[in-house]
Amino acid sequence: MNTSRFDIAEIVKLLRRSENDQEVRNFFGQAMSSIERDEYYGSLEFKSEGVDVVFKEAPWVVPPAEVADPRVLHVSAFHLHREGHEGYSGYSGQLPNDVALGDTEAELIGKMGQPAVTGGSGMIPVLNRPIPRWLRYSIGDANLHFQLDANGRIELVTLSTLDTQAKQK
């Protein structure tokens, strides 16, 4: 497997950091000027690297006591795509425990153990489309979420912060 600048060990360190943080600015470079902002979140796409990045306003990502400016965006999630998923090239980085995009659910569980939470399946009535099955694991202070395609193979991996709005409820 090729190496990726979006190495899990490196990108997990960027979670929760402000868009103004020097490490975030150094990591993303000039792409920071291309953040597409919509409501309380923003995003960056790196289609050729199989990655997109989600930023959310501070109250959604950092504890209330740490919010200096609620409108400042913070790194919230990295989506790591399988080749061809949503028009992305395949993520080329190493996933934990030798999990690979395209692995089956059984292979994923064999490598990662039992997930903390599972979900999905069924239909979204309004859109009349299936809800993908997913499995979520905790890694430190973050979530690692594996989404499966209709054939039960990993098509998307999301590394994300814990949602502070959900934690407060």
> 122: burial class by Cβ within 10 Å (0-12, 13-18, 19+)?
exposed
- For residues 95 and 76, the answer to whether their CB atoms sit within 8 Å is no
- Residues 115-156 have pLDDT tens digits of 999 999 777 778 777 889 999 999 888 999 999 999 999 999
pTM of the model: 0.91
pLDDT given at position 166:
44
